[in-house]
Amino acid sequence: MKKTSNRQVWFNIAVIAAAYVLVTILLKGNLLNRQYTSLLVPIAVNIMLAVSLNLVTGFLGELTLGHAGFMSIGAYTGALISLNLGKTEVLPAPAAFALALLCGGLMAAVFGFLIGVPVLRLRGDYLAIVTLAFGEIIKSVINSMEITNGARGLSKIPLYSNYTNYTVVFFLMVLTVLAVTNLMKSRDGRAIMAIRDNDIAAESIGIKISHFKVKAFVIAAFFAGVAGVIYAHNVGLLKPGTFDYNKSIEILVIVVLGGMGSIRGSIIAAIILTVLPELLRGTDNLRMLLYAIVLIAMMIFNNSKIKEGLMMNRTFRKLGRKEA
Amino acid sequence: MLTSIMEQLINGLRTGSIYALIALGYTMVYGIAKMINFAHGDIIMVGAYTLYIGIALLHLPVLPAMLLTAVVCSVLGMLIEKIAYKPLRKAPPLAVLITAIGMSYFLQSVALLIFSSTPIPFKSVIEVEGIQVGTVNISGITIVTLAVTTVIMVGLTLFINRTKAGSAMRAVSEDRGAAELMGINVNRTISMTFAIGSALAAVAGILYICQYQSLRPTLGALPGIKAFVAAVLGGIGSVPGAMLGGIMLGLIESLSKAYISTELADAIVFGVLVVVLLVRPSGLLGKKKLVKV
Amino acid sequence: MALLEVKNLGISFGGLKAVDEFNITIEEGQLYGLIGPNGAGKTTVFNLLTGVYRPTLGTITLDGKNLVGKGPAEICKCGVARTFQNIRLFGKMTVLDNVKTALHNQVKYSEAVCFFHGPVYKKKEQEMTDMAMDVLKVFGLDGYGETLASNLPYGQQRKLEIARALATNPKLLLLDEPAAGMNPNETAELMDTIRLIREKYHITILLIEHDMKLVAGICEYLTVLNFGTELASGTPAEVLNDPKVITAYLGE
């Protein structure tokens, strides 16, 4: 029992180190053209977004369609801090970025709390639609506020987290993934999954449902906010339209394709779905179609007899257990 | 001042009637299939494009083009149910919801591939003279919209309450298993519900496009979501609730656009949804459900 | 003092009195049976006791503490655990994790430990695993620790549900038709286990059963419920010979 968990830890460390070395070699050896270099940070951002959404949708079992809203709150908060403190050299760049990350995450978490508490009374379809509504409200409020520069958006945000600073971005991504993975293997994580599997039973063994639902919302919002800060300091400009319903769906597609409740799946799917559109360049419209088909096909497949048949098969059952 | 308020109210009533038509589709499908058909809003878009094809490309007269629109949307609605939702009848609600979102995305992206994202201008096919009541102007399209909606609502209420097919629908929505045991063909009833809902969306699409006169692949998304808000506001699953919710939402939207802020009008509409769900989760006319332990 | 005292308990759903003027007193260590025909309101009583429903009338006291108005999670912390008629396991979690989840309020560590693990995490988790395995052993489920709960055979799912309830360290354990769907052999075995856990964990058990013979064999005291009200109470021998009870079960 103990041995396997130790081996798992070493394996994870080896994978993380290998990934870091690979990225370093690719970058320092100039093995990537500009197009692919520019994908490195978006991959990390998407991994963070997908892993955090997975916490709510895969582990807690509630669909939220406003994840891009949390991302935008983080992005705008972080960008405003960098523009007002970092760029004017009130603070040195690393300190400004650290502050931006922290405040972006916290601000998103505060909104996660504000949204999480009232929507606790809702579930399923209603919750999904209310989170969608919140996402749109956030968008239109940002759009009409002066400090966010309305529809014109913010520009000339210092590029603290573009590919030249990939070490920082990589570190933050690993931190996010580890935090969520560890959380799910802990007391709180079990409570969250128990609520997903059977909320009435979870309550009957002394788990406060509202507490853990809000907690999951807040944690997910925090990491989405941090991802937003990284996004803002990679592209350098923000427009409210970027964080619409379609962005939320894009993150959802990653989670669904990777498998709900599978962090490893989310990571792999995030890499594939960030690189793939780049490979199919110029076919942006096809990408949307592909997303749509992925969503429908995955759902029908997951609930079909074919999957049941595969699960009955011994080798697949073993694989399935490992995943869990 | 009074004239302006009256005009805003009439505007609100017109938009509200369109929302009500769409909301009816959401509510009927929810009542029968216990799912939110996210793709419902995009049926409006398909309806609008079909009308455009009928009139501008096939040069059909107005009425046959409208009929074509209704038929295409009904068939599409039934097909969507058969292909995407029927295999998931026993699946967890989350899976059904995600499939419906996927379906909505699918319709939008197919439209995007065929027609591209550049808006296509479209001239209204409804040519009715407006009238003047005192100082208030009522446009032709408003009159037509209100008339059509009223007729449909009365017709639908009669259909649901007075016909055999209508009572089958009510039975299935009450208890699917029991209805099946009573010899009601559940599959056919569900198909019929999707067909009727989609036909209503087609009508809404025609009225909507004659109002806004521009075609985009995403044109159904916003009225779709707002109509959903209307359905929830009225109490999802309740037919009179959808009508009430639609009209109310139209009025709220029109008044906030005129007197608060155009930019924030959408936020206000969604804010209303959130408040309603928190204060009265089952909506104004909805029934409360007890979870059995 | 009695462990559980219920007085004048009542609840109505839209005018229908599902439970009315229900009284029960359970002494510590008792194995008490609640029986009655289908639809008599037995499960509703459980739902009232565990806070799933809020009573419209009456009082519930456990060890002198009032339970009315508390939520299910709080009532569990007060020492009442239950199983469900239609099994409610955490299907996508392993058998071991099902039980470890129930240790939620007994072995605790901070949020920081949840995120970053470390030595405290290791120690506490090991403690939880050991405790959970002990409970699983009682039910002969210790070999299934890593199996997903939904993949267990039916009889073992029922046992796991009891194990999970036990892990919350209750004073009072409510079992809702624990033998439903089991064959006679499995039932007999389960009844033995129920006796065993009462001795081993020093708990009081209230169990719902349908099958009178079965209850008579194991319970020391019975209450018969019919149409939401108490029809008779007493030792199995007294109750089973009560003409009112016979009428309720067999009809006139």
Q: Which residues is C11 bridged to in the sheet?
A: C19
- Whether residue A45 sits in one domain with residue A22: no
Residue linked to tokens 């289908």: C38
Q: Has residue A12 been placed in a domain?
A: yes
CA distance B161 to chain C (A): 25
Lowest mean pLDDT, pick from A269-273, B129-133, B168-172, C140-144: B129-133
CA distances from residue B247 to A136, B207, B231, B252 in whole angstroms, order as listed:
22, 15, 10, 9
- Whether residue A138 sits in one domain with residue A223: yes
- Whether residue A125 sits in one domain with residue A85: yes
List the single residue in A63, A65, A296 with the smallest CB-CB distance to B102: A296
- pLDDT bin (cut points 50, 70, 90) of residue A307 is low
Q: Has residue B208 been placed in a domain?
A: yes
Q: Which residues of C touch A (CB under 8 A)?
A: 50, 52, 71-73, 76-77, 81-82, 84, 88-94, 97, 100-102, 104-105, 107-109, 111, 113-117, 121, 124, 126, 129, 146, 148, 164-165, 167-168
b/e per residue, C201-239, with b = 16+ CB within 10 A? eebbbbbbbbebebbbebbebbbbbbebbbbbbeebeeb
d(CA A324, CA B69): 48
Query: Which range in A104-113, A142-151, B151-160, C32-41 is most confidently predicted, on average pLDDT?
Result: A104-113
> Mutate which of A174, A183, A205, A316 to disrupt the C interface (most C C-beta within 10 Å)?
A205
Residue B183 φ/ψ, nearest 5 degrees: 90, 15
d(CA C113, CA C126): 14
- pLDDT bin (cut points 50, 70, 90) of residue B173 is confident
> Mutate which of B29, B90, B98, B232 to disrupt the A interface (most A C-beta within 10 Å)?
B98
Structural domain tally of chain B?
1
Mean pLDDT of all residues in B224-242? 87
Are C109 and A191 in contact (CB < 8 Å)?
no
Are C73 and A208 in contact (CB < 8 Å)?
yes
Report whether pLDDT(A3) > 90.
Answer: no
Q: Could you tell me which residues come within 8 angstroms of residue A186 by beta carbon, excluding any fewer than 6 positions away?
A: C109, C113, C114, C115, C117, C121
What pLDDT is stored for residue A281 in this prediction?
A: 66
Check if B273 contacts A (Cβ < 8 Å): yes
- Whether residue A19 sits in one domain with residue A155: no
Using an 8 Å CB-CB cutoff, list chain C residues near A188: 111, 114
Q: Has residue B155 been placed in a domain?
A: yes
Mean pLDDT of all residues in A22-30? 86
Check if C72 contacts B (Cβ < 8 Å): no
What pLDDT is stored for residue C179 in this prediction?
A: 86
Q: Has residue B266 been placed in a domain?
A: no
Q: Which domain holds residue B125?
A: 26-225
What pLDDT is stored for residue B235 in this prediction?
A: 86
Q: Has residue B256 been placed in a domain?
A: no
**Tens-place pLDDT, residues A198-221:** 999 999 999 999 999 999 999 999
- Whether residue A123 sits in one domain with residue A186: yes
- Whether residue A127 sits in one domain with residue A173: yes
What pLDDT is stored for residue A224 in this prediction?
A: 97
Which of the other chains make 3 or more beta carbon contacts under 8 angstroms with chain A? Answer: B, C
Q: Has residue A84 been placed in a domain?
A: yes
- Whether residue A80 sits in one domain with residue A221: yes
Residue ranges and CATH numbers for the domains of chain C are 1-79+170-252 (3.40.50.300), 89-165 (no CATH)
Prediction ipTM score: 0.92
Which of the other chains make 3 or more beta carbon contacts under 8 angstroms with chain B? Answer: A, C
Pairing of strands C204-209, C221-226: unpaired
- Whether residue A13 sits in one domain with residue A134: no
- pLDDT bin (cut points 50, 70, 90) of residue B125 is confident
Are A118 and B274 in contact (CB < 8 Å)?
yes
Are C47 and B290 in contact (CB < 8 Å)?
no
Chain A stretch 208-247, residues whose beta carbon is closer than 8 A to a beta carbon of chain B: 245
Q: Has residue B278 been placed in a domain?
A: no
- Whether residue A105 sits in one domain with residue A15: no
Chain B, nearest residue to A297 by Cα: B99
List the single residue in C76, C116, C126 with the smallest CB-CB distance to A204: C76
Check if A116 contacts B (Cβ < 8 Å): no
Structural domain tally of chain A?
2
What pLDDT is stored for residue A164 in this prediction?
A: 86
Are C52 and B290 in contact (CB < 8 Å)?
no
Q: Has residue A229 been placed in a domain?
A: yes
Are C115 and A179 in contact (CB < 8 Å)?
yes
Share of chain B above pLDDT 70, in %: 98
Q: Has residue B244 been placed in a domain?
A: no
**Tens-place pLDDT, residues C20-75:** 899 999 999 999 999 888 888 899 999 999 999 999 999 999 999 999 999 999 99
Asked whether C164 and A205 are in contact (CB, 8 A), the reply is yes
Check if A124 contacts B (Cβ < 8 Å): yes
Q: Has residue B18 been placed in a domain?
A: no
- Whether residue A143 sits in one domain with residue A6: no
Q: Has residue B243 been placed in a domain?
A: no
List the single residue in A118, A136, A302 with the smallest CB-CB distance to B266: A136
- Whether residue A97 sits in one domain with residue A118: yes
Copy the structure tokens of residue A9. Answer: 């830890």
d(CA B193, CA B177): 17
What pLDDT is stored for residue A321 in this prediction?
A: 46
- Whether residue A221 sits in one domain with residue A102: yes
Q: Has residue A321 been placed in a domain?
A: no
Of A181, A214, A248, the residue at which a domain comes to its end is A248
pTM score: 0.88
Side-chain half-sphere CA neighbours of B7 within 13 A: 15
Q: Which domain holds residue A203?
A: 40-248
Copy the structure tokens of residue B235. Answer: 């109490």
What pLDDT is stored for residue A320 in this prediction?
A: 47
Q: Has residue A264 been placed in a domain?
A: no
CA distance A323 to chain C (A): 11
**Tens-place pLDDT, residues B174-222:** 888 899 899 899 999 999 999 999 999 999 999 999 888 889 998 998 8
What pLDDT is stored for residue B124 in this prediction?
A: 81
